[in-house]
Homo-oligomer: A and B are copies of this chain.
């Protein structure tokens, strides 16, 4: 079979979706595998993207009164054990520090020495170690609320890893708040989900479904877990942020108590909420095409690359002058709270140069040759359009309109993703259709099939786990807007109080 159109990434999404994902990362130079099991190296192009996400999100957090702080990397084992469900949830994936130095052993090689009296766990999340501080910070209702966020690395020892989506170490933020009442804590849980929604929809251009997790999918130790769920192009769901109402569970575990206005001693109510470098995996799989990643302009590592073209070596001086002057003007412009970031690539390597930037997903590519200069115009390619769909734009007009063009790309990416999700979200009312929907056709195993099914659920763990067992499909969330939409359970047929989103998931 010969391909009709040559693509920059091989295999294509349809040919082999998981391998396409790995190849997109490689081709974009976002990250690479490291020799440390399950850990990745985030390369400059990927890290700049992360910095922009962090910057956007950090501003959103601070606007709600949250302040940043930093807590220890290590958690004493006894701390983790304070909340039974919590430790149960993380025990299988803990990196454990047992020694504090290296010494030459009998073999003459260095070996761990200086055993610790109590093992330390490298934080998989920080509720228990932060709770310990909170127990000291809180004594009166006047100390509340406490609104803290931490940007940090965490470690969850994963057996099967995948860059950005599931790595043993990852970068994230974890918010932790303490409140005097359950109501206020529930409001904060929801408020932070709203912040995630704004960040993921407005900055990453990924439409989300907002809802509540089923008990089986809750964070270990939480009373309630809210999440935002996004659809990838293989129609699986990616959880892109979670916000937990922890009730008084962790307050009891960590002894976070306060004297109320009525002078009674009360346990506080806490929340936690997190999002991570996994969002970068979401960007790749939401917007990427068979030519590679497409970066949403608002968080793009850079906005535009200038590609000077020298037909003859004597052109070089004048073309570079033109290019550098253009770069200066573009860099002086502001796009959504940051300066426009401009790259100049003057390598003389022919067509590979343009393709490199397509694969890196930069929103705009601008070719500048002697002829363009003569006509005072630029030859512009947009990453949300086909690689060869370039067109001439007057130079001054481009400078004047670049931020509008970037906004247009941003909006276009969001609308495309929304249309894709809508196209692959179906209401299903009977079990047979449901099972067919989630079964790859023809006994083969194409990676892309199914989608989101909106169906009833009776509320029992049993029906949920049977479906998971049969189809590897789980309840992604109970969307807020369908929490009280009556129907029948897709598995047992009993009455159901709510419609839920079923999907395969990362």
Contact = CB atoms under 8 A, between A and B. Distances in A.
A331 interface: no
A303 B109 CA distance: 54
A399 interface: no
Pairs of residues from A and B, 4 with the lowest C-beta to C-beta distance, nearest first:
A39-B72, A44-B67, A42-B70, A91-B102
29 contacts: A32-B133, A34-B129, A35-B79, A36-B72, A36-B129, A39-B73, A41-B72, A41-B133, A42-B69, A42-B71, A44-B67, A44-B68, A44-B148, A47-B68, A77-B110, A91-B101, A91-B103, A92-B102, A94-B100, A94-B101, A96-B98, A96-B101, A96-B112, A97-B98, A97-B122, A98-B99, A100-B157, A102-B121, A114-B157
Given A42-B70, A112-B98, A34 B133 contact: yes
Interface of A: 32, 34-36, 39-44, 46-48, 50-51, 67-77, 79-81, 87, 91-103, 109-112, 114, 119-122, 129, 132-133, 136, 148, 152-153, 155, 157, 169, 171
A110 B92 contact: no
B133 A76 contact: no
Given A96-B99, A98-B98, 16 more contacts: A39-B74, A41-B133, A47-B67, A80-B102, A87-B102, A87-B110, A94-B101, A96-B100, A96-B101, A96-B102, A97-B122, A101-B157, A111-B119, A112-B119, A114-B157, A153-B153
Contacts of A122: 73, 97, 122
A478 B95 CA distance: 43
A164 to B, nearest CB: 12
A68 B48 contact: yes
Nearest to A119: B112
Contacts of A91: 101-103, 110
Contacts of A114: 157
Contact of A41 (B69, B77, B102): B69
A401 to B, nearest CB: 27
Nearest to A50: B70
B157 A34 contact: no
Nearest to A39: B72
A240 to B, nearest CB: 20
Contacts of A101: 91-94, 96, 157
A242 B46 CA distance: 28
B169 A35 contact: no
A76 B46 CA distance: 24
B71 A132 contact: no
A102 B39 CA distance: 20
A99 B136 CA distance: 32
Nearest to A120: B36
Contacts of A44: 67-69, 148
Given A47-B70, A68-B48, A74-B36, A97 B100 contact: no
A448 to B, nearest CB: 31
A447 to B, nearest CB: 29
A32 B47 CA distance: 31
A148 B43 CA distance: 9
Given A100-B95, A110-B81, A41 B121 contact: no
Contacts of A136: 32
A169 B102 contact: no
A478 to B, nearest CB: 32
Contacts of A110: 77, 80-81, 87, 91
A171 B70 contact: yes
Contacts of A100: 93-96, 157
Nearest to A132: B35
A75 B36 contact: yes
Contacts of A120: 36, 95
B76 A35 contact: yes
Contacts of A34: 71-72, 129, 132-133
A79 B42 CA distance: 19
Contacts of A80: 102, 110
Contacts of A129: 34, 36
Contacts of A109: 81
Contacts of A32: 133, 136
A87 B103 CA distance: 11
Nearest to A147: B44
Contacts of A155: 73
A94 B99 CA distance: 8
A51 B68 contact: yes
